[in-house]
Structure 1
């Protein structure tokens, strides 16, 4: 069983969609789609994110050809999506930036001369009187 098949098995056992799985482990949904379609192979970073999010899987199932361990489905009384809503359901108003700006004092500068160069190799100089 290759790694893509194991990821598909996780989706089935956890009863979650590929989009939700991608959100849960912190990868782009398009990356998940490419992996499941066989276009791309899972990266080491993705594997680490899977193990971090689903520690019950362990790391040995990735390294060996052994089958996935029995995976307990997510609790039915509180789906993964609902637990995520609790964290993000109440947006906080943005605090205004109360940093007072200091006025920038630049030394007084005056133009002394301006040079204009023409394409024929000539130039014109203007000086402050």
Structure 2
């Protein structure tokens, strides 16, 4: 089975599978679940954690068996069983494309304003008159 046929069987695009096999992308949980659904004889523990045997005891005539040309570039899928951590192909953490922004320090300056003083109070009455009161200094 070719990689394109496998991608079609599990329901992903051939380019997505190619990126996973080349190590450019890691498989998402959704892709792992699609592989497990299409190939239920593959152990979920093996797919997720690389632990235990690759195939479970389920035996079916329509199972896909390992084809070296399909998974040569991805050491996660090997016929020998789970890959040792020292031989797994991991994505390298790359430096960011853009430099981080310079930290800008913002200062807030509080200016004291003099206290307000009452200079005049006016009281208006309903008959149209008013009185003015001024504080004594």
* TM-score > 0.5 by shorter chain: no
Shorter chain as normaliser: what TM range? 0.3 to 0.5
- Structure with the greater alpha carbon radius of gyration: 2
Greater length-normalized contact order (CA 8 Å, ≥ 6 residues apart): 1
TM-score, structure 2 length as denominator? 0.38
**More helix, by proportion:** 1
